[in-house]
Structure 1
């Protein structure tokens, strides 16, 4: 990869994506368009972006281990749904034509931006709903939760941005009220769904490693510095910035496809 302006922007965007994910989420709004900008075909760009950002998700599981202990019985069904849905989404992505996927990109970014914009009200609702609720074992109706989680995880394997808030809402609607338990189960589910998609992309040779490794390093550095500096940043400003970026990128790709 030559370090022209697009290559430099990929480094900067990956760094900022890692920082955003540490502070507010939504880093893919920057990293995915950036890797497209260096000439990577859209499907390979999505696969490479998923692989590059996945290690940061995996390492976050350890932080939620104590909260997972109360719902170990849910990890099996939710993990199975994540693996089924994520694998199916990844395979369908690889069987989508490049031009077809490129036409879907602005719509996927728009959906992700809307989900992210809704995340603030969703988080407030979850916090109010779960205030004072102790971490206890819950027994939601498993079959409908399992089937709906497969659908959400299919989206994660196919594109994925913003799906975490869908999972949080789904778990809350099925009776899980403690916000820490919801976050813990969300992290495990999204990590497994993205993880199996990562395996699919690697096995099928869809990852451009010269871009991926560079993105991994710069995103990890951005995540570390973002986590340290984010404590001094107003999260509302960070969230507003991410939402603006999301809608701007969706608008740009609508314009690009029209021309």
Structure 2
């Protein structure tokens, strides 16, 4: 009886965490801070949990791209697409070749680093918004340097990905993309494409646990659509605080659980 009740609560938390992750990814990123630990709470090994979580969250990113498609900058699409494909595939392949124990040792450091990035993103986001209010004449950035900057970020998305959305937005802003809605839509597109490549790699390798994945996928997709709908209205500072606190707590938990 106690075991059955515990399992029900774990499934309930997985469903809730997946929905929250979809909302967070559409608005600011960092959804994996919630959904990945929920996946591991089901007793899944770390790399399989990461692969399953990536596949589950991807439809939410796709629905967000559909919602934000009118904000995309067409002149940057070829660079974003090529970078996302190369980075996503290479990151996924490296993950699958990583030992479970190694991934567990690296995991809390990735969570902590991503959380700290979110923590310092407030002033930079304010700077981005101020530039958005006084935009310069729009011009296409130097594409090769942009490719070189985005490639390691997309690699990280294919490998793990938590917190990468802010890195994409910062890189694009440094190369002259100033309008906030363009930044957000390009961020979601890069994450969606990188994760699509990782998803296909994980599926082909047989690393996905589908009975958990499908449950999470449905609710993440719903959360992604709703999050994209309210992305223009939500106070990003409130969401950022939630993401940072959640990420730090999860990092502390996995540091404590170090084998």
Structure-2 residue corresponding to 1:67: 71
Give 1:236 shift: 3.2
Structure-1 residue corresponding to 2:125: 123
Normalised to the residue count of structure 2, the TM-score between the two structures is: 0.88
1:46 aligns with 2:46: no
Compared with structure 1, are the counterparts of its residues 47 and 131 closer, same or farther at alpha carbon in structure 2 (3 Å cutoff)?
same
Q: Distance in 1 between matches of 2:71 and 2:94?
A: 33
Kindly report the root-mean-square deviation, in angstroms, between the aligned alpha carbons of the 2 structures.
Answer: 2.4
- What is the aligned residue count? 254
Verify the 8 A CA contact 2:109 2:251 in the aligned structure 1: yes
Q: Distance in 2 between matches of 1:73 and 1:228?
A: 25
Normalised to the residue count of structure 1, the TM-score between the two structures is: 0.88
Q: Deviations over 1:168-222 (max 9, x none)?
A: 1111111222222222222221111111111111111111100000111233344
Verify the 8 A CA contact 2:46 2:104 in the aligned structure 1: yes
Q: Greater shift after overlay, 172-181 or 217-226?
A: 217-226
In the alignment, structure 1 segments of 5+ residues that lack a partner are none
Compared with structure 1, are the counterparts of its residues 105 and 223 closer, same or farther at alpha carbon in structure 2 (3 Å cutoff)?
same
Compared with structure 1, are the counterparts of its residues 23 and 141 closer, same or farther at alpha carbon in structure 2 (3 Å cutoff)?
closer
3-state DSSP of counterpart to 2:133: coil
Give 1:78 shift: 1.9
Verify the 8 A CA contact 1:122 1:165 in the aligned structure 2: no
Verify the 8 A CA contact 1:23 1:227 in the aligned structure 2: yes
Compared with structure 1, are the counterparts of its residues 214 and 150 closer, same or farther at alpha carbon in structure 2 (3 Å cutoff)?
same
3-state DSSP of counterpart to 1:242: helix
Compared with structure 1, are the counterparts of its residues 51 and 166 closer, same or farther at alpha carbon in structure 2 (3 Å cutoff)?
same
Q: Distance in 2 between matches of 1:73 and 1:229?
A: 26
Q: Distance in 2 between matches of 1:214 and 1:127?
A: 37
Give 1:226 shift: 6.1
Q: Distance in 2 between matches of 1:188 and 1:223?
A: 13
Compared with structure 1, are the counterparts of its residues 247 and 204 closer, same or farther at alpha carbon in structure 2 (3 Å cutoff)?
same
Q: Deviations over 1:55-102 (max 9, x none)?
A: 11112223333332xx32321122101100111000000000011001
1:93 aligns with 2:95: yes
Compared with structure 1, are the counterparts of its residues 20 and 193 closer, same or farther at alpha carbon in structure 2 (3 Å cutoff)?
closer
